[in-house]
Structure 1
């Protein structure tokens, strides 16, 4: 097989974004992510500091959301959110574009809005994933956003929040990979719920996947590789 367990596990951002998750459930989700040694935990901003503390000493990164889920925050607030996230130990920030401005064709605003968050994160040596919410967009919007993200040096372009009317599609992921510079990675969110689908998006060139069915996906991977499965309480965290 052309992958190792670590190759697959380090594709997954374990999502803990549902507003009804209790602190006990958030802690359990973080522990699950540690057990499976995923890429990151994407958690609600208020719990980020605790998350970073729990992940200290592991290879799992703490991540959170900016301007989530609708992207309509002012640029100043998004930048302030980004700085607070950095202060709380965030290593990867998933920001939502201003969807209204994208649909209005105000590309100068959109570019400055994205750049404001990237500037804060990159100044601290951290990374940004830019969420498009493709379910509301046409292909021309997606292509233009990929171009802008290349210009402002985004680290990833990302399909969805998981809270729109649809998630990642193979067509959108292919378009995003083709429309982005090689140095900009692609993240799929919403719709990758099993191991075969993860392998499909990996073939397209996706390097990260937002998932809440992490235990299920990675235990399927372990079975395929002839490894023992891991018993873990699954958490329902979004995507």
Structure 2
């Protein structure tokens, strides 16, 4: 087991987590449970679809738990203008963080200018309204060169995070991808690992590899596993 087991506290580990409920079948009760669990465990953020932002914002108001909206989710196949509008409206409704999916078609076409315009537009709307901007690459569909190209664009534009995955693609976060992204962006941009992280061991490995945020729907289970091992 990772050395982090002995250096992290329950509170510090909880702050790595974006507690996630993005299923199309999620009910209002599911979203309320997500917020309740996040309050009880002091997670960093709830990750939800834009339509649920007003409810989460009301339930979490003044708590310190952020509301995060997924934009262009999960395929990224929206125009820049649509993504900007969705991000801006989500922030207006109470979101403090935006996770948006890049246009993978543009990346496959090597249209790096488009991707830079898209990223700059999303970063700008977040900056203007004081929100955190995370860029989802969806690495399961990308080559190593494509991942590096996106990191280079991110270094030029300056989002807050680059992120591995939506959790809805053909694969999720891998240690190799987290290491690659961290190596490319260094300390200038943070890395978020998401998709398939369901155990304490996998979460700690992602943190050791360089992830500063973890997206997971299993956050409560992971934190519970930590507390049992630490006997807290």
SS of equivalent to 2:7? coil
Would you say 1:79 and 2:84 are equivalent positions? yes
The answer for unaligned runs of 5 or more in structure 2 is 1-5
Q: CA deviation at 1:151?
A: 1.3
SS of equivalent to 1:191? coil
Matches within 5 A, 1:139-154: 139-154=144-159
For each residue in 1:51-110, what CA deviation from the matched residue of structure 2 results, as whole angstroms up to 9, or x when unmatched?
011111212100011111111100001110111011011111000000000111000000
The answer for unaligned runs of 5 or more in structure 1 is 228-239
Q: Is the helix fraction higher in 1 or 2? A: 2
- The aligned residue for residue 169 of structure 2 is 164
Give the whole-Å Cα distance in 2 for the aligned partners of 1:190 and 1:82: 22
Give the conservation status (yes or no) of the 8 Å contact 2:69–2:87: no
Would you say how many aligned residue pairs link Structure 1 and Structure 2?
A: 227
For each residue in 1:28-60, what CA deviation from the matched residue of structure 2 results, as whole angstroms up to 9, or x when unmatched?
111111111101001111110110111112121
Q: Which TM-score applies when normalising by structure 1?
A: 0.93
SS of equivalent to 1:26? helix
Give the conservation status (yes or no) of the 8 Å contact 2:100–2:135: yes
- The aligned residue for residue 155 of structure 1 is 160
- The aligned residue for residue 43 of structure 1 is 48
Give the conservation status (yes or no) of the 8 Å contact 1:33–1:40: yes
RMSD: 0.9
SS of equivalent to 1:207? strand
Would you say 1:4 and 2:9 are equivalent positions? yes
Give the conservation status (yes or no) of the 8 Å contact 1:150–1:181: no
Give the whole-Å Cα distance in 2 for the aligned partners of 1:172 and 1:224: 28
Matches within 5 A, 1:19-34: 19-34=24-39
Give the whole-Å Cα distance in 1 for the aligned partners of 2:48 and 2:99: 10
Give the whole-Å Cα distance in 2 for the aligned partners of 1:139 and 1:147: 12
- The aligned residue for residue 236 of structure 1 is none
Matches within 5 A, 1:127-206: 127-206=132-211
For each residue in 1:183-213, what CA deviation from the matched residue of structure 2 results, as whole angstroms up to 9, or x when unmatched?
2100111121111111111111101111111
Q: CA deviation at 1:26?
A: 1.1
Give the whole-Å Cα distance in 1 for the aligned partners of 2:17 and 2:110: 32
Equivalent position to 1:17, from 22, 42, 58: 22
Q: Which TM-score applies when normalising by structure 2?
A: 0.96
Equivalent position to 1:94, from 99, 102, 121: 99
Q: CA deviation at 1:115?
A: 1.1
- The aligned residue for residue 3 of structure 2 is none
Segments of 4+ moved more than 6 angstroms: none
